[in-house]
Structure 1
Amino acid sequence: MPVRAENLPVTAAAGDPSPPPDLVVTGRYDQGPGYRVHRPRGSASWLFTFTTGGHGLLRQGGARTRAGAGDLVVLAPGTAHRYAVAPGAERWRFWWAHCGARPSWTPWLAPYALADGLYAVPSAPAAPHERIAVAFARMLTDRGAARGPDPVVVADGFPARELALCALEEAVLLAVSGAGATPCGPRDDPRVRRAEELIAADPGAPHTVRSLAESVALSPSRFTHLFTLRTGRSPMRALREARLRHAARLLRGTDLTVERVAAASGFPSPHHFSRIFRERYGMPPGAYRAGERR
């Protein structure tokens, strides 16, 4: 079922669908004990949370982190996750946003990766917490929903989506800069950048860990380690995300059949492509194309 503003739950709960990555869905929650969400198959989109009070407990795969005031915790799509008011906490007050993350954000978050797809940027005295909260709030006010105890808004289509992403990008940059990270810090590696460029230039090519490693003169194991260290995700996760973004662009901008979109995006079969695409975007490729052209 397509996830749009009219069928998003006011408060997420176990079993609720996550928003697809082509939307930016933002909200502010103030939850008490008992609030919890569990997505055994993960989310279709990235989830950004910024805690302003109380404590939350977030888990991604086998890793977990406790979030307190000033902490930014990010969950990448595709891995089982759960989050809740932390045990013993009276409240968890937090901003949140579901969206498709810009590729440039993962190197900024990489120094704070706890596992493949779980990033915890800690609060720091130098971090401009108020400015981060204002950046999240701007995503609400830009959509005319600044009031209410738990407001939720959806930015769908240009330019609303881009304005929301710009505000979220500011929040991410403020958080990592206050915590001491830089986009091109010691974990930056030109060989990893080259591999990312190869993936972005032609997502549909028959890339493998071995072929990407050979293109930058590294062994597969060393390449995988460096790539994951710098970007916070494995090479194959990055490749799959790039292929899904490419497929979505083809569905929006061309009249190619689903079968040809799958082949052009590097998926081994239309059936496999449709299954993966539906998991990520919440609908099959044909429905996604129809929805984009309404």
Structure 2
Amino acid sequence: MDRLRNTRLPDLPLHRLEVPLPHLLPFAIGTFDTIGPLSRAAFPHRHTFYEIVYVTGGSGSHVLDLVSRPVEPPQLCVITPGQVHHWAGAEELTGHVVLFNEDFLLPHADDASALRALAARPGHPAGEQAAPIAALLADMGGEYRELRPGYQNVLRACLHILIARASRTPGSTGSPSDAPAPACDRAAEVASAFGRLLCEPGGARWAVGWYARELGLSAGHFQTLVRRATGRSPGSLIRQQRTLEAKRLLSGTHMTIRQVSHQAGFADPAYFCRFFRKETGMSPGEFRNRAGRNHHDPRIESIAAHPDGP
């Protein structure tokens, strides 16, 4: 049963989560086959939701924000809202697909930061976590299908454990805490909220003042808290995200440079070209040509999915 819906943006599809009855949760789990053909989409697209994929078989590559990694089962892939991804040359993909919205993470708010850290790479080998992850997903699938009393709470608890297991896979940097952050850790709380807002698909704003107002802070206090938590200014993180959004549009759509400029929030295409060259060392046109030929060019991958962001 198809649980994904394709909404067209200018040349870049946006997939939204639709959960069929009797489920009323912002959550779904299944296989590549039961989730539907969009779970194997070979064209660049983005989501409004989180996706965790546990690949148990098949071949090809997973491309996430311009970075490509061969499919090497068993392998875990995490995609967060706003990221652009697709499966390249994929054949006979098998495994589990878990889909959920931000609301499903509310009992464990720190899990969102762990997922963003995991999504800094297009794939993680399961390693010694393979058997526990497989057993956990099988249990989650049973709870989802059988609708036993209290299954919603079981699914939320299992998802929290799954994210913790994923954070133990080789090369992972995600590390959800065992307990909520202290109430006094305001800087980490603000930086996490800023990170979520910054990555929202189609909802990005490019002014520090907008984010400060959205979070109920003065611009100065907002800048102080974000720098304390991340070591970077909000402006530098916005520039990074803005450049990444431009790269996504240049590599994943047929939009003109002027259209990309407008979509990335630049009123003047000439200024956009100067900004992009300063951030990447390439003109938008050169980047598009290189991205179309080789996803492994280090200059193409240089800004894709930084794990040290908010």
**TM-score normalised per structure 2:** 0.48
Helix, strand or coil for the counterpart of 2:31?
Answer: strand
Correspondence for 2:225 among 215, 223, 232: 215
Correspondence for 2:190 among 190, 195, 212: 195
Helix, strand or coil for the counterpart of 2:94?
Answer: strand
Helix, strand or coil for the counterpart of 1:77?
Answer: coil
Tell me what 1:253 maps to: none
How much does 1:225 deviate?
9.2
Helix, strand or coil for the counterpart of 1:128?
Answer: helix
Show structure 1 runs of 5+ residues with no match. Answer: 1-7, 146-154, 235-294
**In the alignment, is the contact (CA less than 8 A) between 2:41 and 2:86 conserved in 1?**
yes
Q: Which has the higher helix share?
A: 2
How much does 1:26 deviate?
0.6
Tell me what 1:120 maps to: 123
1:165 aligns with 2:156: yes
What amino acid does structure 1 have at the position aligned with 2:113? P
Tell me what 2:83 maps to: 79
1:176 aligns with 2:186: no
Q: Return closer, same or farther for 1:72/1:41 CA change in 2, 3 Å cut-off.
A: closer
Q: Return closer, same or farther for 1:144/1:194 CA change in 2, 3 Å cut-off.
A: closer
Q: Return closer, same or farther for 1:219/1:27 CA change in 2, 3 Å cut-off.
A: closer
What amino acid does structure 2 have at the position aligned with 1:100? N
| Sequence identity (%) | 15
Helix, strand or coil for the counterpart of 2:190?
Answer: helix
How much does 1:73 deviate?
0.8
Tell me what 1:18 maps to: 16
**C-alpha RMSD of matched pairs (Å):** 4.7
Instruction: Measure, in 1, the Cα distance between the counterparts of 2:28 and 2:229.
Output: 40
Helix, strand or coil for the counterpart of 2:222?
Answer: helix
Tell me what 1:141 maps to: 142
Instruction: Measure, in 2, the Cα distance between the counterparts of 1:38 and 1:210.
Output: 44
What amino acid does structure 1 have at the position aligned with 2:49? S
Deviations 1:171-223 (Å, cap 9, x if unpaired)? 22112224365446xxx9x68515247879x9954458764222356599813
Q: Return closer, same or farther for 1:159/1:213 CA change in 2, 3 Å cut-off.
A: farther
How much does 1:74 deviate?
0.7
Instruction: Measure, in 1, the Cα distance between the counterparts of 2:75 and 2:93.
Output: 12
Q: Return closer, same or farther for 1:49/1:207 CA change in 2, 3 Å cut-off.
A: farther
**In the alignment, is the contact (CA less than 8 A) between 2:61 and 2:87 conserved in 1?**
yes
Range that drifts further, 22-31 or 210-219? 210-219
Tell me what 1:245 maps to: none
Correspondence for 1:64 among 57, 62, 68: 68
Q: Return closer, same or farther for 1:112/1:45 CA change in 2, 3 Å cut-off.
A: closer
**In the alignment, is the contact (CA less than 8 A) between 2:14 and 2:48 conserved in 1?**
no
**In the alignment, is the contact (CA less than 8 A) between 1:20 and 1:45 conserved in 2?**
no
Instruction: Measure, in 1, the Cα distance between the counterparts of 2:122 and 2:45.
Output: 18
Helix, strand or coil for the counterpart of 2:16?
Answer: coil
Q: Return closer, same or farther for 1:12/1:53 CA change in 2, 3 Å cut-off.
A: farther
How much does 1:18 deviate?
3.1
How much does 1:167 deviate?
1.7
Deviations 1:19-58 (Å, cap 9, x if unpaired)? 1595211112369xx9841576621211110111223533
Tell me what 1:94 maps to: 95
**TM-score normalised per structure 1:** 0.50
Show structure 2 runs of 5+ residues with no match. Answer: 8-12, 20-24, 197-211, 242-310
Deviations 1:217-274 (Å, cap 9, x if unpaired)? 659981349989xxxx96xxxxxxxxxxxxxxxxxxxxxxxxxxxxxxxxxxxxxxxx
Instruction: Measure, in 1, the Cα distance between the counterparts of 2:44 and 2:158.
Output: 29
What amino acid does structure 2 have at the position aligned with 1:133? A
Range that drifts further, 77-86 or 203-212? 203-212
Tell me what 2:248 maps to: none
The count of aligned residue pairs is 199
1:9 aligns with 2:2: yes
